[in-house]
Chain A
């Protein structure tokens, strides 16, 4: 297991290089002078020239890249032009919100999705199973914002259990904080539930056909146990893959849901930063998101090996 983990981490390094190089080139490949772009339309030629020297834009590309690497590693990512604060301060603040809601919605999606998907496949010839399959199809077809709006309508406006929007930080009280994130988490989570349930259904159907399921039956093992221990264990590989994919999209944040609920998350931040040409911030967000996704994929790879030890290098018994 250790050597497998080591190999995966090694494989990480070239992958990390890619967003770094892309981000580096991003600014320099954009039409126009990078320094002028950074300072915006109002800058004087002297200011531009000054920034150019400061950023080392007249140096050879390799030197610039090394400087860039150095900056990234020491977390000198510049300041946000519009928020007038260091990028490394801004991002964690907004990321915390997104990540919290993201993780919660992932849990919701996995729990509900796997349950629904298992029912759809294991009980596919019963009413319950068919209903589960149908729900899955409906869920995939409904867009996120519709979930969000319906939830708000029913639970916030109608039942008054939750606020219509707005984010309450943890510091203002545990319960109010939780109340403010439940609806957005469900808005995100329900959409993904359908996706997870479809994948689970497919994965379980595949495994159900395998001969070793018949062997388990021949031993008199009850069906519910076969389903849980023998089948789901193997299906979880595919589910794990999906979870990895979902994490990636959840980390980037959903600008839609965050806008509807008025949450200060990464999605909205990125949207605003791009609209306002806040290059330093955009650069920081891209780097951050890229890195987190790579780490998540590494975790998924390692979890594969835990769930299905065949993934590692095989050993033979003599």
Chain B
């Protein structure tokens, strides 16, 4: 059976049982150093997965390499399969066809990630123009629809404004509207709630969830906030030192973590009604997170992901450590 070819000439997988996104042994390197290594996880269709980690864990780099937005000095190797299409090694021209139309990206800081001078309408319009052939009127209607889809009711007024005139919450919604403008299958959100107040965070999370339902999106959520993970994601992959150290369904991860780092991370978070006097801290092999990645790869301890139960993988040392 030949796979149908869509309007962009790319094959589509119609069977729907394969995960939408399958990352295997992904590494992102800069010379002898591995910023990200041996990252493996799967994201089924319409599901949501969190990449959880603190700063320096490599989660943002992983997201960037999936979207094809890595800085030119970095090299990605391994496998990223999106809808059965291998992404690693593809030139930008091919990746560009997927960008926006099949993979959408929400950036962390809307103030700097949106153009300061072009109006909101113009910016969303640029995204539409890249993939569709709308007339001006159609485009404007689509822009208004998108804005109301993300909860911005004064569509006309907002489309004519610049991002400096909007509040933080509105900017984030505009960012989301842009990311979904071409109806992608996969939405990658890089810390979408970090820069926001708690009540705004809730709204953004709810928005993402409702969009997922309405549009059948798969969501890859990058975050350091385990509370958000609990709220939103079906499964999670915990990252530390550029590696995935544990991946499992959210409930299982939070209630029965297996890797020392995951356990320590969960324990270190103050909870409301916490009776503890002191918070347990993470004893790490390297003093600060980023240092692990500054060790040349042949000197890092050899580890691998071991499947310890149905969908629960944990990173364990391989036999003896090689030096």
A309 close to B107 (CB less than 8 A): no
Residue of chain B at shortest CB distance from A229: B126
State the total of A-B contacts with C-beta under 8 angstroms: 93
Provide the residues of chain A in CB contact with B112, threshold 8 Å: 210-212
Report A318 CB to chain B, min CB distance, Å: 9
Return the CB mask of B263-298 against A: 1 if under 8 Å, else 0.
Answer: 000000000000000000000000000000000000
B114 x A215 contact (CB < 8 A): yes
Inter-chain CA distance A276–B177, complex, in Å, is: 70
Whether the Cβ atoms of A316 and B107 lie closer than 8 Å is: no
A292-318 vs B: 1/0 string, CB under 8 Å? Answer: 000000000000000111100011110
**Complex CA–CA separation, A315 to B166 (angstroms):** 9
Q: How far is the CA of A204 from the CA of B98 in the complex (A)?
A: 27
List residues of A (177-224) whose CB comes within 8 Å of B's CBs.
210-212, 214-222
The reply to whether B164 and A230 contact each other, CB–CB distance below 8 Å, is no
Q: What A residues does B182 contact at CB under 8 A?
A: 219-220
Question: Which among A217, A225, A234, A316 is the interface contact of B116 at CB below 8 angstroms?
Answer: A234
- A233 contacts partner chain B, Cβ-Cβ < 8 Å: yes
Q: Residues 66-110 of chain B: 1 if any A CB is under 8 Å from the residue's CB, otherwise 0?
A: 010100000000000000000000000000111111001101010
Contact: B114 with A212, CB < 8 Å? yes
User: Could you say which residues of chain A place their CB within 8 Å of the CB of B100?
Assistant: 218-221
User: Do A214 and B162 touch (CB < 8 A)?
Assistant: no
Partner of B181, one of A211, A214, A219, A229: A219
Across the interface, which residues of A come within 8 angstroms of B96, CB to CB?
217, 220, 222
A268 smallest CB distance to B (angstroms) = 43
Q: Is B318 located at the chain interface by the 8 A CB criterion?
A: no
Give 1 or 0 for each of B102-130: 1 = CB within 8 Å of chain A CB.
00110101001111111000000011011
| C-alpha spacing A307/B181, complex, angstroms | 27
A214 & B157 in contact (Cβ 8 Å cutoff): no
Interface residues of B in 175-206 (CB under 8 A from A): 175, 178-179, 181-182
**A234/B178 contact (C-beta < 8 A), A220-B96, A222-B96, A222-B130 known:** no
A87 to B126, CA, bound (A): 55
Q: A219 contacts which of B157, B167, B170, B178 (Cβ < 8 Å)?
A: B178
Q: Which residue of A lies closest to B102 (CB)?
A: A220
**Does any Cβ of A come within 8 Å of B154's Cβ?**
yes
Is A220 touching B98 in the complex (CB atoms < 8 A)?
yes
The 8 nearest A-B residue pairs measured at CB: A220-B100, A220-B99, A219-B127, A219-B100, A218-B105, A221-B130, A211-B113, A220-B130
27 contacting pairs across A/B (C-beta < 8 A)? A211-B112, A212-B112, A212-B113, A214-B113, A215-B107, A217-B99, A218-B100, A218-B107, A219-B126, A219-B182, A220-B96, A220-B99, A220-B100, A220-B130, A221-B100, A221-B126, A229-B118, A229-B126, A230-B115, A234-B117, A307-B117, A310-B162, A314-B164, A315-B165, A317-B158, A317-B165, A317-B167
Beyond the given pairs A211-B109, A317-B167, 19 more chain A to chain B contacts, judged by CB atoms under 8 angstroms and listed by A's residue number, are: A211-B112, A212-B112, A215-B107, A215-B115, A215-B175, A217-B69, A218-B100, A218-B107, A220-B96, A222-B96, A229-B126, A230-B118, A230-B126, A233-B118, A309-B117, A309-B162, A315-B165, A316-B165, A317-B154
**Chain A residues within 8 Å of B, Cβ to Cβ:** 210-212, 214-222, 225, 229-230, 233-234, 307-310, 314-317
